[in-house]
Structure 1
Amino acid sequence: MEKVKLEILGLSPSQSQTGSFALVLSEEAGNRRLPIIIGMFEAQAIAIEMERITPNRPMTHDLFKSFARAFDFTVEEILISDLREGIFFAKVVCTDGIRQKSIDARPSDAIAIGLRFQVPIYTTNQILADAGISSQEATTADEPEELIQSSSRPQKTYKDSLKDFSLDELDKMLSQALIDEEYEKAAKIRDEISKRN
């Protein structure tokens, strides 16, 4: 399995799900992005560590770090290992210097822990192929919104069901969402395109 190193590109509030956030990971040596929708508490745990804020009392992920250190374990890496039915799976790869163990985790928790141990985040080429969005797609489209509106079909908005759009229209909408850096919207469009392929 060939691993691909990721870095955190951004964290923004979800436009469609109140209390959720879009965590956008970017391929370190490429142009693909991996948007993952996460909960508010996990987003807070990631943001606190990214901003180097020290809470008054340890958060759950800080407790995990203290617990691991107390028992001479450390985290080596985070691996976003699988994508099944639209749900991402991750592993926290730990070692005590002799044995290595992979612990199943939600990607949001795994990344929050990985940030505290300052370890790399990886995924696989297959996951990026299935769920990643190429940032180059955004630069190849010529005014996609105008193209959608000037088609012979009636004008549509994003609130309409994505099932009503053709693949060509969805490709153009995906490109525009990437240009506008609306990663959650892009992820939903990407999922609709994947269902049809």
Structure 2
Amino acid sequence: MDGIIFADPYNLWKISNIMGFSEDAGMIQMEVVGVAPEPNSNKPLVWLRDEEQTVFLPISIGNFEATAIYMELYDEPPPRPICYDLVRTVLGQVNAKVERIVISDLKDDTFYAQIIFKQGSSEFEVDSRPSDAIALALRVAAPIFASDAVLDEAGLEVEGEEIPLGLEEDMELFEAAAEAELVVQEEPESVVTLQKQLEAAVSQEDYEKAAKLRDKIGRMDAE
């Protein structure tokens, strides 16, 4: 028996024992197809596929990371630099680069990844969530790899389709949501940020705004 057959949401997929993808250390290079909501939970998924376009790898991610990936894929920069843009700038300043990222493992439904950096003749790796690694890789044009072990367990082989049926429509739904600002496009507000806004409101004698900010800070402190 090759694998388990699923019907919905994207046609008939077969989760197969996918072997022999790469002769190079059990890795296969992947590319980012796009971001789409998972049909049942509406939680974002980033979709990767191999260069042969025969195997897809969906990874569940957060709203902020999904939007960060979407913005880079479709060349829609945020109003202000976000964390991945900052890392790209820092790498340039210290003459370092991202050599590659590797989605290396899947344990208890959680994916694990590493970012491999290179500075001069030195190379080192840092553990990362796949979503963060992918968002950074897109910004620095670094190659993305997945291990055979991950693809064996979570890879989706689509028979007779260049892209899973229904995925393109769901990607369009995510695009519409992002453009309508239904997906978070900025880092979550912190108490420090709100405190600065409170101080500014008081200095401008905008006491109504200051009161609202004070109440919001109080609620966050109580959580």
| 1:6-45 alignment runs, 5 A limit | 6-18=30-42, 20-45=43-68
What are the equivalent positions in structure 2 for 1:2-151 lying under 5 Å apart? 2-18=26-42, 20-136=43-159
- Partners of 2:34 and 2:70 within 8 A in 1: no
Structure 1 unaligned segments of length 5 or more: list them.
140-177, 185-197
Letter in 1 for 2:126: I
Alpha-carbon offset, residue 95 of structure 1: 0.5
With over 3 angstroms needed to count, the CA separation of the structure-2 counterparts of 1:124 and 1:60, relative to structure 1, is same
Higher relative contact order (CA 8 A, sep 6+): 2
Q: What SS does the aligned partner of 2:39 have?
A: coil
TM-score (norm 1): 0.67
Identity of aligned residues (%): 33
Q: In the superposition, relative to structure 1, how do residues 132 and 58 fare at CA in structure 2: closer, same or farther (>3 Å)?
A: same
* Distance (whole Å) between structure 2 residues aligned to residue 97 and residue 36 of structure 1: 32
Separation of aligned partners in 1, 2:53 and 2:40: 28
Runs of 4+ deviating beyond 3 Å:
178-182
More helix by share: 1
Q: Based on CA coordinates, which of the two structures has the bigger radius of gyration?
A: 2
Report deviation, 1:30.
Answer: 4.8
Whole-angstrom CA distance in 1 between matches of 2:166 and 2:78: 34
Q: Any conservation in 1 of the 2:116–2:123 contact (CA below 8 Å)?
A: yes
Amino acid at match of 1:67: V
Partner SS state of residue 61, structure 2: strand
